Amino acid sequence: MRIIDVHTHPIFFRKGATPKEVAALVAQSRALGIRHMVSLGDVLVHGTHPTAAQVTAMNDMNAKLQAWHPDFFSSFCFLNPVLGERAVMKEVERCVTRYGFKGIKLEISNNARDACMKPVMAAARRFGLVVLQHSWSMVNLKLRRFHSDPIDTAQLARRHPDVKIIMAHLTGIGFRGVLEAKGCDNLFVDTSGGYPEEGLVEYAAEQLGADHVLYGSDLPIRENSVTIGRILGARISAADKRLMLHDNTARLLNLN
Amino acid sequence: MLIDSNVNLGPWPFSPIPEYTGPQLAAHLAATGIRRALVSDLRAVFLPDPMPANRRLFAAVKRTPALLPVPILNPALRPWREQLDECIKAAPIRAVKICPNYHNYSLGAAHLDEFVAALSAAKLKLVLNVRLEDERHKYFALRIKGVAVADIGAFLQRFRSQHILLSGIYKPDLEKLAPSHANFSADIAFCEWINTLEALLEKIPANRLFLGTCTPLLSTRGQVDKLVRARIPARAKKLIGSENARRFFGL
């Protein structure tokens, strides 16, 4: 089965950044059936609130991965929305026009419901980019000021129905997160985040439709063999597995 | 052939996991290559007296030789000795599991001296459950943490003559304990990072790691693929996948 991984951090706290390490990762991933990876960057290497220069450096690192293996890596433009409209627009324009980045990655600089998201969504709209928003249930983690609960990400998607949004971390958002995402056609959920809890993949397919669930690993925090095996072992049809593992992301990012 | 050291039957109140019968569970495991499994009943985690769950477990696996029952006992309950005797008489058990975080006692409790001695006298292995869930995803009212690594270290130090199987330990905690304690093995159910086993084998030898899937709370296929698709020597895979469990549990 051909696989596209929509949620990876091939360089993580600066580890894995050499050409040799990246080539090994590509070869290893291909052996597992992964034909393409979306690199979201080394998102926490400068903490939760990187400066504009640090954001640029992180995106340049992503661009380097793409240049080394253009057929294997696509990248999303990492942003710190708190830096404001000018910085956001400038960085998105640079990453799209210079490198052909396919989406925007948002981590934990702010909550998805904050006003600073407006220019981010305007940039996504202007350049036709998908937005991948870090999301995690804040029921047990009291960090909602800058982490987005699935309620917040779903609200973002409802406020901007013309922008395609990926709510990250199926395992982190849990069953409640799936219900929050339900009924929002521009909102997709990726399967990354946490140990491979049983039943969630099936539940997401049932509630959202398999066409709204995207395979993501969160590599290197997780292991591809586990995250792929979780979908291959799920009690869903082979056609739904194919959608999740490949076709949905291929369509969303025009990777065919 | 794989042996899974961390499998459960029964419902879990906080997520809609499959509730298998013994034969259904054996068939589910066999589909991923697991031919034998050490099985406990999840009801024993929450019941004030774990014995009804253990009796249910013995009945459920009685005619399914692939499933070997591992009763869960609570040594903080006064009649644990009678309950242990009942388990020994009821089924050919090889080990007993304890869940100190769910059963509300400390690993430093004095009564564990007698309990561990009784297991040893009965030639039974001790499985220490560290966790069953990622703490971040627990039901909001269930304020139970995994067993603290310092407490596990002190426990291993206290029972130096016993070799204990840790079930559900996180990878960083396992790596922390491995250099200073030789008297434990661990299942890999809650160990995950890129190239998990390659990384673990740098810190702990293959003869101390066991395949554990934590079925049905975690995805069996995903957990099995962690081992089957790992880029480690075939000998290490065999040890982790079956030989260590075979030796430890005397199968």
Cα separation, B157 vs B183, in Å, equals 9
Mean pLDDT throughout B92-99? Answer: 98
Task: Tell me whether B52 touches chain A (CB under 8 Å).
Answer: no
The CA dihedral of A177, A178, A181, A187, to the nearest 10 degrees, is 110
Which of the four pLDDT bands, split at 50, 70 and 90, describes residue B194? very high
Q: What is the pLDDT of residue B26?
A: 98
DSSP tag of A147: S
CATH number given to B2-249: 3.20.20.140
CATH of A3-252, one of 3.40.50.2000, 3.40.50.1100, 1.10.10.10, 3.20.20.140: 3.20.20.140
In the numeric block, the tokens 């290559």 are attached to B33
Using an 8 Å CB-CB cutoff, list chain B residues near A199: 15-18
Q: B136 to each of B99, B103, B147, how far by Cα in Å?
A: 19, 20, 15
**Residue A89 C-beta-side C-alpha neighbours within 13 Å:** 8
How many other C-beta atoms are found inside a 10 Å radius of the C-beta of residue B117?
A: 12
Q: What is the pLDDT of residue A17?
A: 92
In angstroms, the separation between the Cα of residue B20 and the nearest Cα of chain A is 13
- Cβ-contact A232, A34 below 8 angstroms: no
> Which value does ipTM take for this structure?
0.96
Using an 8 Å CB-CB cutoff, list chain A residues near B32: 233
Q: What is the pLDDT of residue B192?
A: 97
Cα separation, B168 vs A200, in Å, equals 20
Q: What is the pLDDT of residue B76?
A: 97
Using an 8 Å CB-CB cutoff, list chain A residues near B20: none
Domain-wise residue ranges, chain A: 3-252
Question: Residue A156 burial by CB count (10 A; 0-12/13-18/19+): exposed, middle or buried?
Answer: buried
Q: What is the pLDDT of residue B140?
A: 87
Which of the four pLDDT bands, split at 50, 70 and 90, describes residue B91? very high
Residue pLDDT tens, chain A, 256 long: 899 999 999 999 999 999 999 999 999 999 999 999 999 999 999 999 999 999 999 999 999 999 999 999 999 999 999 999 999 999 999 999 999 999 999 999 999 999 999 999 999 999 999 999 999 999 988 899 999 999 999 999 999 999 999 999 999 999 999 999 999 999 999 999 999 999 999 999 999 999 999 999 999 999 999 999 999 999 999 999 999 999 999 999 999 7
Nearest to A199 among B16, B224, B231 (CB): B16
Q: A18 to each of A40, A42, A64, B164, B197, how far by Cα in Å?
A: 17, 14, 10, 41, 22
Q: What is the pLDDT of residue A129?
A: 98
Cα A75 from chain centroid (whole Å): 10
Mean pLDDT throughout B6-10? Answer: 96
In angstroms, the separation between the Cα of residue A89 and the nearest Cα of chain B is 34
Nearest to A196 among B15, B223, B231 (CB): B223
Q: What is the pLDDT of residue B143?
A: 84
Q: What is the pLDDT of residue B55?
A: 98
- At A11, list the tokens: 């360089």
Using an 8 Å CB-CB cutoff, list chain B residues near A221: 193-194
Using an 8 Å CB-CB cutoff, list chain A residues near B225: 225-226, 228-229, 232
Q: What is the pLDDT of residue B138?
A: 85
Which of the four pLDDT bands, split at 50, 70 and 90, describes residue B141? confident
Q: Scanning every residue of chain B, which has its alpha carbon at the shortest distance from the alpha carbon of A32?
A: B229
Domain-wise residue ranges, chain B: 2-249
Backbone angles phi, psi at B194, to 5 degrees: -60, 135
Sign of torsion, CA B230 B234 B236 B237? positive
In angstroms, the separation between the Cα of residue B142 and the nearest Cα of chain A is 10
Q: What is the pLDDT of residue A194?
A: 94
Residue B148 pLDDT > 80, yes or no? yes
Least confident window among A38-42, A183-187, B141-145, B229-233 = B141-145
